Protein backbone atom coordinates (compact mmCIF):
# COMPACT_ATOMS: atom_id res chain seq x y z
CA UNK A 1 0.00 0.00 0.00
CA UNK A 2 1.39 3.50 -0.83
CA UNK A 3 2.75 5.37 2.20
CA UNK A 4 0.15 8.16 2.01
CA UNK A 5 -2.74 5.68 1.90
CA UNK A 6 -1.22 3.76 4.80
CA UNK A 7 -0.99 6.96 6.85
CA UNK A 8 -4.62 7.76 6.06
CA UNK A 9 -5.63 4.27 7.12
CA UNK A 10 -3.68 4.64 10.38
CA UNK A 11 -5.34 8.01 11.06
CA UNK A 12 -8.77 6.49 10.43
CA UNK A 13 -8.04 3.60 12.79
CA UNK A 14 -6.93 6.11 15.40
CA UNK A 15 -10.19 8.04 14.96
CA UNK A 16 -12.23 4.89 15.56
CA UNK A 17 -10.19 4.02 18.65
CA UNK A 18 -10.45 7.59 20.00
CA UNK A 19 -14.18 7.44 19.56
CA UNK A 20 -14.47 4.05 21.29
CA UNK A 21 -11.96 4.76 24.07
CA UNK A 22 -11.66 8.53 24.59
CA UNK A 23 -9.92 8.04 27.95
CA UNK A 24 -8.62 4.47 28.21
CA UNK A 25 -7.57 3.94 31.83
CA UNK A 26 -4.29 2.30 32.83
CA UNK A 27 -5.42 -1.20 33.85
CA UNK A 28 -2.71 -1.84 36.48
CA UNK A 29 -3.43 -0.06 39.75
CA UNK A 30 -0.48 1.90 41.16
CA UNK A 31 0.36 5.10 42.96
CA UNK A 32 3.79 5.90 41.55
CA UNK A 33 6.29 4.71 38.92
CA UNK A 34 7.83 2.20 41.35
CA UNK A 35 4.50 0.47 41.96
CA UNK A 36 3.75 0.56 38.23
CA UNK A 37 7.10 -1.07 37.47
CA UNK A 38 6.41 -3.84 40.00
CA UNK A 39 2.87 -4.35 38.67
CA UNK A 40 4.09 -4.59 35.06
CA UNK A 41 6.74 -7.16 36.03
CA UNK A 42 4.00 -9.17 37.77
CA UNK A 43 1.70 -8.95 34.75
CA UNK A 44 3.85 -11.23 32.57
CA UNK A 45 1.92 -14.48 32.03
CA UNK A 46 -0.79 -13.15 34.36
CA UNK A 47 -3.97 -11.12 33.91
CA UNK A 48 -4.15 -7.47 34.98
CA UNK A 49 -7.12 -8.36 37.17
CA UNK A 50 -5.05 -10.95 39.04
CA UNK A 51 -2.17 -8.50 39.48
CA UNK A 52 -4.58 -5.92 40.90
CA UNK A 53 -5.73 -8.50 43.46
CA UNK A 54 -2.15 -9.20 44.53
CA UNK A 55 -0.54 -5.76 44.63
CA UNK A 56 -2.49 -4.13 47.52
CA UNK A 57 -0.99 -6.56 50.06
CA UNK A 58 2.43 -6.46 48.37
CA UNK A 59 2.53 -2.64 48.37
CA UNK A 60 1.30 -2.54 51.97
CA UNK A 61 4.31 -4.68 52.93
CA UNK A 62 6.72 -2.97 50.52
CA UNK A 63 5.53 0.45 49.33
CA UNK A 64 8.91 1.47 47.89
CA UNK A 65 12.15 0.06 46.55
CA UNK A 66 13.99 0.06 49.90
CA UNK A 67 11.17 -1.85 51.58
CA UNK A 68 10.92 -4.38 48.74
CA UNK A 69 14.68 -4.88 48.76
CA UNK A 70 14.47 -5.71 52.47
CA UNK A 71 11.39 -7.93 52.18
CA UNK A 72 12.36 -11.60 52.61
CA UNK A 73 12.02 -13.64 49.42
CA UNK A 74 9.70 -16.17 51.11
CA UNK A 75 7.31 -13.39 52.18
CA UNK A 76 7.11 -11.75 48.77
CA UNK A 77 6.65 -15.19 47.18
CA UNK A 78 3.70 -15.80 49.52
CA UNK A 79 2.21 -12.44 48.58
CA UNK A 80 2.44 -12.96 44.81
CA UNK A 81 1.98 -16.74 44.72
CA UNK A 82 -1.24 -16.62 42.68
CA UNK A 83 0.54 -14.91 39.75
CA UNK A 84 2.16 -17.13 37.14
CA UNK A 85 5.92 -17.69 37.43
CA UNK A 86 5.81 -16.45 41.03
CA UNK A 87 9.21 -17.83 42.18
CA UNK A 88 11.03 -16.17 39.28
CA UNK A 89 9.11 -12.92 39.74
CA UNK A 90 9.79 -12.84 43.50
CA UNK A 91 13.51 -13.31 42.85
CA UNK A 92 13.52 -10.66 40.10
CA UNK A 93 11.57 -8.14 42.16
CA UNK A 94 13.97 -8.42 45.09
CA UNK A 95 17.00 -8.04 42.82
CA UNK A 96 15.31 -5.21 40.93
CA UNK A 97 14.55 -3.33 44.16
CA UNK A 98 18.11 -3.85 45.40
CA UNK A 99 19.45 -2.47 42.10
CA UNK A 100 17.12 0.55 42.29
CA UNK A 101 18.42 1.32 45.78
CA UNK A 102 22.09 0.71 44.94
CA UNK A 103 22.20 2.49 41.58
CA UNK A 104 19.30 4.95 41.45
CA UNK A 105 18.73 6.08 45.04
CA UNK A 106 15.51 4.00 45.16
CA UNK A 107 13.95 5.87 42.21
CA UNK A 108 12.81 4.35 38.92
CA UNK A 109 15.10 5.49 36.08
CA UNK A 110 13.66 7.19 33.01
CA UNK A 111 15.66 5.69 30.17
CA UNK A 112 15.29 2.48 28.19
CA UNK A 113 18.90 1.49 28.84
CA UNK A 114 18.64 1.87 32.62
CA UNK A 115 15.23 0.20 32.84
CA UNK A 116 16.19 -2.73 30.64
CA UNK A 117 19.26 -3.30 32.81
CA UNK A 118 16.96 -4.15 35.75
CA UNK A 119 16.25 -7.84 36.50
CA UNK A 120 13.01 -9.06 34.90
CA UNK A 121 12.56 -5.89 32.84
CA UNK A 122 12.40 -6.25 29.06
CA UNK A 123 11.74 -3.72 26.34
CA UNK A 124 7.95 -3.92 26.60
CA UNK A 125 7.97 -3.45 30.38
CA UNK A 126 10.35 -0.49 30.02
CA UNK A 127 8.06 1.01 27.36
CA UNK A 128 5.01 0.72 29.63
CA UNK A 129 6.82 2.35 32.56
CA UNK A 130 8.16 5.21 30.44
CA UNK A 131 4.81 5.80 28.78
CA UNK A 132 2.37 5.30 31.66
CA UNK A 133 4.65 6.17 34.57
CA UNK A 134 6.43 9.21 33.17
CA UNK A 135 4.47 10.28 30.08
CA UNK A 136 7.57 9.75 27.92
CA UNK A 137 6.56 8.70 24.37
CA UNK A 138 6.96 4.95 23.99
CA UNK A 139 4.85 2.35 22.17
CA UNK A 140 4.69 -0.90 24.13
CA UNK A 141 3.93 -3.74 21.73
CA UNK A 142 2.81 -7.08 23.10
CA UNK A 143 1.60 -10.08 21.11
CA UNK A 144 -2.00 -8.77 21.05
CA UNK A 145 -1.02 -5.40 19.60
CA UNK A 146 1.36 -7.15 17.20
CA UNK A 147 -1.46 -9.41 15.98
CA UNK A 148 -3.95 -6.58 15.46
CA UNK A 149 -1.44 -4.25 13.79
CA UNK A 150 -0.64 -7.09 11.39
CA UNK A 151 -4.32 -7.81 10.80
CA UNK A 152 -4.91 -4.14 9.99
CA UNK A 153 -2.00 -4.09 7.56
CA UNK A 154 -0.04 -1.51 9.56
CA UNK A 155 3.08 -3.66 9.65
CA UNK A 156 4.61 -6.57 7.83
CA UNK A 157 4.16 -8.46 11.09
CA UNK A 158 7.58 -10.11 11.16
CA UNK A 159 8.09 -9.65 14.91
CA UNK A 160 7.19 -7.27 17.74
CA UNK A 161 10.32 -5.17 17.18
CA UNK A 162 9.35 -4.52 13.54
CA UNK A 163 5.78 -3.80 14.57
CA UNK A 164 6.92 -1.25 17.15
CA UNK A 165 9.07 0.49 14.55
CA UNK A 166 6.26 0.52 11.97
CA UNK A 167 3.63 1.82 14.41
CA UNK A 168 5.95 4.56 15.64
CA UNK A 169 6.47 5.65 12.04
CA UNK A 170 2.72 5.78 11.34
CA UNK A 171 1.40 7.50 14.46
CA UNK A 172 2.55 10.76 16.13
CA UNK A 173 4.53 10.29 19.39
CA UNK A 174 1.89 12.03 21.49
CA UNK A 175 -0.61 9.30 20.53
CA UNK A 176 1.56 6.24 21.27
CA UNK A 177 0.68 5.82 24.94
CA UNK A 178 -3.08 6.12 24.39
CA UNK A 179 -3.01 3.89 21.29
CA UNK A 180 -1.24 1.13 23.21
CA UNK A 181 -4.10 1.07 25.73
CA UNK A 182 -6.85 1.59 23.15
CA UNK A 183 -5.68 -1.34 21.00
CA UNK A 184 -5.46 -3.57 24.08
CA UNK A 185 -9.01 -2.66 25.13
CA UNK A 186 -10.25 -3.09 21.57
CA UNK A 187 -8.73 -6.56 21.32
CA UNK A 188 -10.16 -7.61 24.67
CA UNK A 189 -13.66 -6.41 23.87
CA UNK A 190 -13.97 -7.15 20.17
CA UNK A 191 -11.66 -9.96 19.13
CA UNK A 192 -13.03 -13.38 20.00
CA UNK A 193 -10.76 -16.38 20.12
CA UNK A 194 -12.58 -18.20 17.34
CA UNK A 195 -13.23 -17.33 13.72
CA UNK A 196 -15.94 -14.74 13.22
CA UNK A 197 -17.44 -12.39 10.66
CA UNK A 198 -14.86 -9.65 10.05
CA UNK A 199 -17.30 -7.74 7.82
CA UNK A 200 -19.16 -6.68 10.98
CA UNK A 201 -16.05 -5.32 12.70
CA UNK A 202 -15.70 -1.53 12.99
CA UNK A 203 -12.06 -1.74 11.90
CA UNK A 204 -11.33 -5.03 10.15
CA UNK A 205 -14.37 -4.56 7.86
CA UNK A 206 -12.42 -1.90 5.93
CA UNK A 207 -8.85 -2.10 7.23
CA UNK A 208 -8.31 -5.83 7.60
CA UNK A 209 -5.92 -7.63 5.32
CA UNK A 210 -6.70 -11.24 4.44
CA UNK A 211 -5.00 -13.80 6.62
CA UNK A 212 -2.31 -15.74 4.88
CA UNK A 213 -3.43 -19.34 4.70
CA UNK A 214 -0.80 -22.04 4.46
CA UNK A 215 -0.57 -23.67 1.01
CA UNK A 216 -2.76 -26.74 0.70
CA UNK A 217 -1.00 -30.00 0.48
CA UNK A 218 -1.66 -31.74 -2.78
CA UNK A 219 -1.58 -35.47 -3.37
CA UNK A 220 1.83 -37.08 -3.08
CA UNK A 221 4.04 -36.48 -6.11
CA UNK A 222 3.96 -39.81 -7.85
CA UNK A 223 7.01 -39.04 -9.96
CA UNK A 224 9.11 -38.72 -6.83
CA UNK A 225 7.78 -41.91 -5.32
CA UNK A 226 10.24 -44.69 -5.88
CA UNK A 227 8.62 -47.68 -7.48
CA UNK A 228 9.14 -51.03 -5.91
CA UNK A 229 11.56 -53.06 -8.03
| Residue numbers annotated as active site | 124, 142
Of 85, 35, 43, nearest to 63 by C-alpha is: 35
* Distance (Å) of CA 131 to CA 2, 70, 100: 30, 28, 19
- Closest distance of CB 29 from ligand SF4, Å: 27
Of the ranges 66-74, 113-121, 129-137, 188-196, which one interacts with ligand SF4 (CB under 6 A)?
188-196
Quote helix, strand, coil % in the chain, to nearest 5. Answer: 60, 0, 40
Smallest separation, CB 187 to ligand SF4 (Å): 6
Shortest separation between residue 16's beta carbon and ligand SF4, angstroms: 10
The H-assigned helical ranges of 63-221 are 65-70, 73-80, 86-104, 112-116, 123-128, 134, 143-151, 160-170, 173-190, 204-207
Site string for ligand SF4, 140-169 (x = CB under 6 A): --------x--x------------------
Please tell me the distance from the alpha carbon of residue 77 to that of residue 82, in angstroms, as a whole number. Answer: 9
- Residue 13 or 97 having the CB closest to ligand SF4: 13
Segment interacting with ligand SF4 (CB under 6 A) among 114-122, 133-141, 162-170, 202-210: 202-210
Nearer to ligand SF4, 115 or 141 (CB): 141
How many angstroms separate the CA atoms of 121 and 89, rounded?
10
Residues that bind ligand SF4 (CB under 6 A): 148, 151, 190-191, 196, 198, 201, 203-204, 208
Amino acid sequence: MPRVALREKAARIRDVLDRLYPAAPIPLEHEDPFQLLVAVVLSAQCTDARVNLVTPALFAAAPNAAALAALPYARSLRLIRSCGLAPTKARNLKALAQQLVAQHGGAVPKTFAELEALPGVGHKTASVVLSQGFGIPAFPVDTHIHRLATRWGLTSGRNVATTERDLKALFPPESWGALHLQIIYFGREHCPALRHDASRCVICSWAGVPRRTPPRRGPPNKQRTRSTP
